[in-house]
Structure 1
Amino acid sequence: DAAGVPIYLEMSSVNPVFVLRGALESRGNEIAREFFQSCTLGVGQFCTSPGIVVVPAGEAGNAFVEACTGLFAQGDPGVLLGPSDHIGQAVATIKDAGAKVLAGGASLKDGGFAFANTLLAASGESFLADPGGLQTEAFGPVSLIVRAEGIEEMVLIARALDGNLTGTIYSDTQGADEDDYAELEPELRQKVGRLIADKMPTGVAVSPAMNHGGPYPSTGHPGFTAVGIPASIHRFAALHSYDNVPDHRLPLQLRDKNPNGVMFRLIDGRWSQHDVD
């Protein structure tokens, strides 16, 4: 903000999913079902919902788009956390940027807290022409499929992305996509807080290894996570130091004698439970 105070917020993320050719050809229908379930989980109002899926153009890509369109068109809508106006505005922005509606695309007639499961599509060329418009977050049951003409265009799409909480790469389990993965991963790695292999991004495990953060604008500070112990606690902490303060005036945790004999403390660069000599 204007005073220079850091903020630790989850602000915007479309959580891109890249499906490489080998994975698409070997298990495209399975990935389509995972995508639909992930996108509509919680009516799409998860901060890790997949808002963009990038697939290769071609016959397998056509089959994937057809399968996804059917799933989105037939799926039951849910109840939103708030009015659907902002979702409609986001969909309009995505359409104005060059996307075509494949399913849904509008609020439902029975009230303002429902929006049809919506799937849009655009070419890789269109995405690169207006990446800002086409990666607008709808925060609802809305996603965009981008058809890429080869791995080179996938890399360019990854390079054009804003910062995100997550990024996923689906690759062939038998190794057919190793070369393509090696080209794409370094670009995507720089744009996301959590890089995921072969699964949709909506699950967030509460564990010390979890990073639920990412580069701007997905969060206000890429060095912190909103999930995971103890790292998430650091957002609410301040650094205090004691210099030349006598032992009896220090907090118990910092005195030479370990207060309970089991607490780990960093002493001369090593974690220890011992008293300070």
Structure 2
Amino acid sequence: MGAREPVLIEGRWQASRDAGGDFRAFDPTRGTPFGPAFPVSGAADAEAALASACSVADELAAADPERIADFLEAYALGIEHDGPDLVALAHLETALPIEPRLAKVELPRTTGQLRQAARAVRERSWTQPIIDTMTGLRSHLAPLHKPVLIFGPNNFPFAFNAVAGSDFASAIAARNPVIAKVHPSHPATSQRLAELAHRALVEAGLPAAALQVLYHLDPAQGLALAGDARLGALAFTGSRNAGLALKARADAAGVPAYLELSSVNPVFLLEGALRERGEALAQEFFASCTMGTGQFCTHPGIVVLPRGADGDAFVDAAAASFAQAPSGVMFSRGVLDHLQQGLTDWREAGAELVAGGAAAEGEGYRVQPALLSVDAATFLADRRLQSEAFGPASLVVRVDGIEQAVAIAQGLEGNLTGTIYAGEPDAADEARLAASLRPRVGRLIASRMPTGVAVSPAMHHGGPYPSTGHPGFTAVGLPAAIRRFAALHCYDHVRDELLPVELRDRNPGGIARQVDGRWTYDDLGAAP
């Protein structure tokens, strides 16, 4: 057995204590392993990582926020300096294109998130200080004083990576240690990010053990770690089955679990929009469905449109694009198998293949985009047709007028997004549909495909179950994402010098605070 790459535990890179085996990255374009061996950690590694993170939780919670912000900014700069090497690694491990996806889109998004987190730390806006002078009560959001366990997904090697993404930035911004269980689809990329993060932590004067990194865990060990009451919170992005299994363990231990699971992101096309620009919408839909080989959590999995000539023309135009599209590369054999099973489930539930879906030729994990169709009554009768087929595939649902479209919206499970394309004569129908769709999606979109997720303070990347485990929190958008990993602390007539700085009478940092129902930057007692 050859040497394995080290894990980051107890503030230093060291050999795994009890690796139960090893694995290597796979080249998705060829389906062959490459690169060094990484350990599959066992109970001893997991326990050491958890104990080490717990040992610095109080120290990190008491750290000067300026140091936290300095770390986040230095880490972002380190990623940028190492950008070409990181992008090359991620390309090898995921087959995602270097240009523009990795180099021009995802890497800048990642560093932008880190810098937004740093800004929120300096402004302390995420703490939401509230002072009520009549009752003597003061409260704010504060660190958990416990570690956050983050499970990273396969589809974003940078922006959602457990050691660089929004979950990581949010947990660190709230001054909590992180135990990162990175995704085995891109171990070398994650290792390099962890090296940069570790160096930036030390240079910022923060505890090196604020970050622990494990590459892979046996599923049973992952469940055991998720169910340890010493954790402050858990964050997961991935499949519904895996996420709910982790949540069950976390719930039993009283650990809050924030999950991003599956979503079909329905798109409704109304008659006026189809009549005005149907062919252009067909191309827009095809591009969104196949972008990144459909491996986006917000790709349009269901398209609802009326019967009739305009709807037929849309389907014909989209079908032509799907039929002519080249095959794309999936992240792994498991992801490809899951997509093929999803398409089988759709067809067994009554959907018919319209275009594409043929066996893809060539090496690696290749798939041809697929477009399927079903009528509204069949869709409403079988919930399997709402299951996510993660990849370049979508299901067209044909409806007889707005009443059936509204029934479809009302019958949907929770989703991350819901989109309505409306034309000039569709205003009344759009309003009805929006009212039905609004409670069932996290983000309601007008006349735009759902694929993009802007890193904005106003972004909500979440939604009702089963798209996430909790409808009130977002995985993207700062400072809101930070609040997942915070505790609400209340002080009742506590003297000023014992209060956290956000709640003291003086406000030298100029923090926005709610004092007696009014937001202000002033010291307590200052003239309005």
Report how far residue 93 of structure 1 moved. Answer: 0.3
Among 144, 148, 162, the alignment partner of 2:395 is 144
Among 173, 181, 198, the alignment partner of 2:430 is 181
Name the CA distance, whole Å, in 2 between partners of 1:63 and 1:20.
14
Among 202, 210, 216, the alignment partner of 2:465 is 216
Whichever residue aligns with residue 86 of structure 1, its letter is: H
Aligned to 2:372, what secondary structure does the other structure show?
strand
Q: Does 1:98 align with 2:350?
A: yes
Is the contact made by 2:329 and 2:364 (CA closer than 8 Å) also made in structure 1? no
Q: Does 1:59 align with 2:309?
A: yes
Aligned to 2:322, what secondary structure does the other structure show?
helix
Name the CA distance, whole Å, in 2 between partners of 1:164 and 1:216.
7
Is the contact made by 2:322 and 2:355 (CA closer than 8 Å) also made in structure 1? yes
Is the contact made by 1:94 and 1:134 (CA closer than 8 Å) also made in structure 2? yes
Report how far residue 51 of structure 1 moved. Answer: 0.1
Aligned to 2:514, what secondary structure does the other structure show?
strand
Q: Does 1:264 align with 2:512?
A: yes
Report how far residue 258 of structure 1 moved. Answer: 1.3
Among 75, 78, 91, the alignment partner of 2:325 is 75
Aligned to 2:488, what secondary structure does the other structure show?
coil
Q: Which has the higher contact order (CA 8 A, sep 6+)?
A: 1
Report how far residue 243 of structure 1 moved. Answer: 1.9
Q: How does 1:146-185 map to 2 (within 5 A)?
A: 146-172=397-423, 174=424, 176-185=425-434
Is the contact made by 1:6 and 1:220 (CA closer than 8 Å) also made in structure 2? no
Larger Rg: 2
Aligned to 1:240, what secondary structure does the other structure show?
strand
Following TM superposition, the consecutive aligned residue runs of length 4 or more in structure 1 with deviations greater than 6 angstroms are none
Whichever residue aligns with residue 207 of structure 1, its letter is: S
Match of 1:207 in 2: 456
Aligned to 2:481, what secondary structure does the other structure show?
helix
Name the CA distance, whole Å, in 2 between partners of 1:69 and 1:248.
68
Aligned residues: 273
Report how far residue 8 of structure 1 moved. Answer: 1.4
Among 260, 263, 271, the alignment partner of 1:13 is 263
Name the CA distance, whole Å, in 1 between partners of 2:522 and 2:410.
50
For normalisation by structure 2, the TM-score amounts to 0.50
Aligned to 1:216, what secondary structure does the other structure show?
coil
Name the CA distance, whole Å, in 2 between partners of 1:194 and 1:120.
25
Aligned residues: CA RMSD: 1.4
Bigger CA drift: 106-115 or 135-144?
106-115
Deviations 1:111-168 (A, max 9, x none): 45221101101111211221x1111101100100111111111111111110000000
Whichever residue aligns with residue 378 of structure 2, its letter is: S
Whichever residue aligns with residue 489 of structure 2, its letter is: H
Report how far residue 198 of structure 1 moved. Answer: 0.6
Q: Give the direction of change, closer, same or farther, for the CA distance of 1:252–1:128 in structure 2 (3 Å limit).
A: closer
Whichever residue aligns with residue 41 of structure 1, its letter is: M
| Residue ranges of structure 2 left out of the alignment (5+ in a row) | 1-247
Whichever residue aligns with residue 417 of structure 2, its letter is: T
For normalisation by structure 1, the TM-score amounts to 0.94
Match of 2:482 in 1: 233
Whichever residue aligns with residue 100 of structure 1, its letter is: E
Aligned-residue sequence identity (percent) comes to 58
Aligned to 1:188, what secondary structure does the other structure show?
helix
Aligned to 1:177, what secondary structure does the other structure show?
helix
Q: Does 1:110 align with 2:362?
A: yes
Match of 1:255 in 2: 504
Aligned to 1:8, what secondary structure does the other structure show?
strand
Name the CA distance, whole Å, in 2 between partners of 1:236 and 1:200.
31
Is the contact made by 1:257 and 1:276 (CA closer than 8 Å) also made in structure 2? yes
Report how far residue 107 of structure 1 moved. Answer: 4.6
Bigger CA drift: 233-242 or 163-172?
233-242
Is the contact made by 1:16 and 1:53 (CA closer than 8 Å) also made in structure 2? yes
Deviations 1:222-256 (A, max 9, x none): 00111111111111111112222211122222211
Is the contact made by 1:88 and 1:105 (CA closer than 8 Å) also made in structure 2? no
Report how far residue 89 of structure 1 moved. Answer: 0.3
Is the contact made by 1:88 and 1:106 (CA closer than 8 Å) also made in structure 2? no
Match of 2:380 in 1: 128
Name the CA distance, whole Å, in 2 between partners of 1:107 and 1:234.
45
Aligned to 1:9, what secondary structure does the other structure show?
strand
Name the CA distance, whole Å, in 1 between partners of 2:432 and 2:493.
53
Whichever residue aligns with residue 182 of structure 1, its letter is: A
